[in-house]
A = this chain, B = another copy of it.
Amino acid sequence: MFFASDNGSGVLPQVMAALSAANTGYARSYGSDPLSDEVRRLIRQQFEAPDAAVYLVATGTAANALSLAILTPPWGAVFCHRNSHLEEDECGAPGFYTGGAKLVLVEGDHAKITPATLATALRQTPSGSVHASQIAALSLTNITENGTVYRPEEVKALTGMAQAAGLACHMDGARFANALVSAGCTPAEMTWRAGIDVLSLGGTKNGCMGVEAVVIFDPARAWEFELRRKRAGHLFSKHRYLSAQMAAYLTDGLWLSAAQKANAMAARLSAGFAALPGAQLVHPTEANAVFAAWPRKGHRKALAAGASYSLWPDSQPLDGPEDDLLTARLVCSWCTTEADVDQMLAVISG
């Protein structure tokens, strides 16, 4: 009953096998090896973007912060959701990598920016005068921190507004595959065809060991990205082992099938909560994360039975009246089983 995070899950067998297979003889370092060529080929092909620049790093925070750093000057303002990973979970990485740019926090239910909330944020953020930060970029997180999904037409509506205001557009796709299979669209439809300039394409949470790709659809700033990556210590010497993961992940639809599995388990769990007396869903379940509330006594039972998940926020006290609803986040991954889900639901209601 491990639902604490998809990053607590292990590595997909195919990815482990690819790492072993890559461990043969010598290879040129820093991305000049054949496996790294293969990753570039795979991403360009699957995104229908033959000119895209593709770079690998090992963490999502690095992918995001480096991406932003090529999209905003130090005096820029980056629009993102108030609950985005950029704002809440990176210890200020965007400020560090951009040289002090500022995040403008956009509102929106279920961690989604809407055209209305983006319009409000744009209107309230002066720019153009030397006294203000200059508006520079929009970052959308897909899937969001609340497990919801932007569909391509939603992305396009927001990037259209952003582009009209002169902003570059980034997508934080730490769980990009989960969004993709949820929306049922192609990688190109979700990204450059919908106005995205740079994508952080996650691998780690969805079954890799530690690899994320940054896909820069307009390669004009690619060299700057390379220098920033190196300077930040994110250029791997034994680069083939990043590439081996990503190549396996993108081969034979592994990334999609792993995400489908995770999303299906979340749907099963969500349906269970919907049917559970006294419980309620807090955000729509659209991908692999479930946000549900149920009585405190059910939490006590679940935790006593060894369930692992997060109270969300974690400031909710476990001590208190039995029937108060406490909200939790439960994340499924490629290795979540139906038995895990069913046991979780049974324990709570048992």
Contact = CB atoms under 8 A, between A and B. Distances in A.
Interface string A114-148: 00000000000010001111100000000000000
Given A58-B236, A91-B130, A232-B96, A29 B10 contact: no
Contacts of A88: 126, 131-132
A132 B89 contact: yes
A11 interface: yes
- Pick the most buried of A61, A76, A232, A234: most chain B CB atoms within 10 A of its CB: A232
Interface string A89-122: 1111111101111110100000000000000000
Interface of A: 2, 4-5, 7-11, 16, 19-20, 23-30, 57-66, 73-76, 88-96, 98-103, 105, 126, 130-134, 204-205, 209-210, 224, 226-228, 230-238, 241-242, 308, 313, 335
A349 to B, nearest CB: 23
B228 A210 contact: no
A233 B130 CA distance: 11
B24 A8 contact: no
Contacts of A76: 92
Nearest to A209: B241
Nearest to A134: B227
A75 B26 contact: no
Contact of A234 (B4, B59, B64, B237): B59
A204 B236 CA distance: 10
Contacts of A75: 91-92, 96, 227-228, 231
A64 B231 CA distance: 11
Contacts of A2: 25-26
A100 B103 contact: no
A92 B226 CA distance: 13
One complex includes copies of this chain to the number of 4
Given A19-B16, A230-B130, A241 B11 contact: yes
A8 B20 contact: no
B26 A93 contact: no
A261 B93 CA distance: 40
- Pick the most buried of A7, A9, A62, A313: most chain B CB atoms within 10 A of its CB: A7
Contacts of A19: 16, 19, 209
Nearest to A236: B210
Given A11-B23, A226-B130, A210 B238 contact: yes
Lowest 8 A-B CB distances belong to which pairs?
A: A95-B100, A62-B233, A7-B237, A61-B233, A2-B26, A91-B231, A91-B230, A89-B131
A20 B17 CA distance: 9
Nearest to A93: B231
- Pick the most buried of A76, A126, A237: most chain B CB atoms within 10 A of its CB: A237
Contacts of A236: 58-59, 210
Given A8-B27, A75-B227, A90-B231, 7 more contacts: A16-B19, A16-B23, A57-B233, A73-B227, A88-B132, A91-B227, A130-B227
Given A102-B103, A103-B102, A241-B210, A233 B28 contact: no
